[in-house]
């Protein structure tokens, strides 16, 4: 085949009309998903590369989704799992993902404002939500499609996907109490994140319901450096007789387990530790402990589908997803 592949080339190879090919490659959800996948497959096989500049002038679309992420160093494989889920949702559409990372201490508004100011994307997915997150009103006021990974306290309706951290904490407390633990410590998320409140509320509600003693130390959070967390948690265990710890991140769990091991504390005998698991890698860690799974890839896929519906013009009411924890307790 000579020359650059065009829509007509794909039409001839696929048997679909040129207009169907065009709409399929633009991600039109009125075209059957099987058709969109087949057209995309043939386009890739032929080496078709759309003229983005011409496409943008013609449609006003960039076919870009911006993923605005804070580091999430406490979660192993967070970015890769999130991107894999989003890619699954956008498979068969014309959309591709561009990541816009920002430092956890930086102003989260900066990348969002930059994307809108320069027209760099058709939609945004962002993480690290806060109770009073300014990105919500900014994007709503601009009429720009977005989905947040996490809820907010904003009175404005918006699309979101979240993990049920309240249930996570309740399940963890109930499990520890069932194993005979009475003095429990939660290593909470950073206090400025919305899910920190959900987790604290679930933790203290379950502690009250079971009659256990619950503790949170303000100096220890998921953002605490592992070396400091390693020493700090082990010190609290020794000083206060804590016999059950809840770590909502794999890095924090490894730090806590290392600190306890170094002081001769026997995991599963002297204390129990429950961790939120987000990767298969943590399953290789020893000693084995009880975990409760958060599926980051599933969250990415859910947010991708929600965002496609927003881009298509569907109002945000009802465009929400609360993902349930999955327990992985030892027998």
The string of pLDDT tens digits covering residues 44-96 is 898 887 765 555 545 567 899 999 987 666 677 888 999 999 999 999 888 99
Distance CA 78, CA 69 (A): 10
What pLDDT, on the 0 to 100 scale, is given for residue 320? 98
- What 8-state DSSP symbol labels residue 193? S
Over residues 136-166, the pLDDT tens digits come to 999 999 999 999 999 999 999 999 999 999 9
49-53: Cβ within 8 A, 24+ apart: 49/4, 49/5, 50/25, 50/94
Q: What is the pLDDT of residues 247-261, one digit of tens each?
A: 999 999 999 999 999
List, in sequence order, every residue forming a beta bridge with 125; answer none if it has no partner: 67, 147
Lowest mean pLDDT among 12-16, 185-189, 217-221, 285-289: 285-289
What pLDDT, on the 0 to 100 scale, is given for residue 2? 57
Per-residue confidence (pLDDT) for residue 58, from 0 to 100: 55
Percent of the chain scored above 70 by pLDDT? 95
Closest CA to 247 of 317, 169, 310: 169
Which structure tokens are listed for 79?
């970015």
> What is the C-alpha separation between 235 and 230, in angstroms, rounded?
9
By the 8 A CB rule, do 13 and 46 touch? Answer: yes
Q: What are phi and psi of 240, to 5 degrees?
A: -115, 5
Residue 281 φ then ψ, to 5°: -55, -40
Which of these, 189, 168, 175, 199, lies nearest to 276 by C-alpha position? 168
Residue spans of alpha helices (H) in the chain: 7-14, 18-25, 33-46, 52-59, 78-90, 109-117, 134-142, 165-178, 194-210, 226-240, 250-262, 296-311
If one compares 3 and 108, the residue with the highest pLDDT of the two is 108
Mean pLDDT along residues 307-321: 96
Percent residues over pLDDT 90 in the chain: 76
Show the tokens assigned to 279.
């990767």
Radius of gyration of the chain (CA): 23
Which of 4, 39, 41 minimizes the C-alpha distance to 23? 39
Output phi, psi for 197, to 5 deg: -65, -45
Give the span between the Cα atoms of 326 and 196, in whole angstroms.
Answer: 19
H or E stretch covering 161: strand 160-163
Which of 216-230, 275-289, 299-313 is predicted with the least confidence, judged by mean pLDDT? 275-289
Domains in the chain, CATH or no CATH each: 7-49 (no CATH), 59-161+297-322 (3.40.50.2300), 165-293 (3.40.50.2300)
Of 203, 176, 174, which Cα lies nearest the Cα of 188? 203
Task: Please spell the DSSP secondary structure of 247-296, one letter per residue.
Answer: ESSHHHHHHHHHHHHHTTPPBTTTBEEEEEE-SSGGGG-SS--EEEE--H
Q: What is the pTM of this model?
A: 0.82
Buried b (16+ CB within 10 A) or exposed e, 208-234: eebebbbebbeebbbbbebeebbbbbb
Quote the mean pLDDT of the chain. 92
Q: Do 90 and 104 meet the contact criterion of CB atoms below 8 Å apart? A: no
């Amino acid at each position: 085949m000579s020359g650059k592949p065009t829509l007509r080339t794909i039409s001839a190879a696929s048997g679909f009309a040129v207009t169907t090919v065009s709409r399929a490659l633009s991600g039109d959800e009125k075209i059957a998903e099987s058709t969109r996948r087949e057209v995309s497959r043939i386009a890739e096989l032929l080496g078709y590369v759309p003229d983005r500049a011409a496409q943008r002038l013609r449609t006003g679309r960039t076919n870009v989704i911006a993923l605005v992420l804070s580091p999430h160093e406490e979660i192993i494989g967070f970015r890769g799992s999130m991107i894999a889920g989003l890619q699954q949702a956008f498979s068969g559409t014309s959309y591709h993902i561009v990541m816009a990372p920002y430092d956890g201490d930086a102003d989260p508004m900066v990348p969002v404002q930059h994307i809108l100011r320069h027209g760099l994307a058709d939609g945004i997915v962002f993480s690290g939500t806060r109770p009073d997150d300014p990105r919500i009103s900014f994007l709503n006021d601009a009429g720009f499609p977005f989905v947040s990974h996490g809820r907010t306290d904003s009175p404005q309706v918006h699309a979101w996907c979240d993990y049920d951290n309240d249930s996570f904490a309740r399940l963890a407390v109930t499990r520890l109490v069932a194993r005979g633990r009475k003095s429990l410590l939660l290593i909470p998320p950073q206090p400025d994140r919305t899910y920190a409140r959900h987790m604290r509320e679930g933790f203290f509600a379950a502690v009250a319901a079971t009659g256990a003693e619950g503790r949170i130390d303000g100096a220890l959070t998921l953002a605490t450096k592992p070396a400091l967390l390693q020493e700090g948690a082990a010190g609290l265990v020794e000083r206060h007789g804590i016999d059950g710890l809840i770590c909502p991140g794999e890095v924090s769990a490894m730090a806590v387990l290392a600190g306890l091991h170094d002081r001769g504390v026997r995991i599963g005998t002297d204390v129990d530790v429950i961790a939120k698991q987000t990767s298969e890698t943590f399953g290789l860690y020893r000693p084995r402990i009880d975990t409760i799974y958060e599926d980051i890839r599933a969250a990415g896929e859910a947010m991708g589908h929600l965002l496609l519906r927003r881009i298509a013009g569907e109002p945000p009411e009802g465009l929400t997803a609360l993902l349930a924890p999955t327990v992985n307790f030892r027998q």
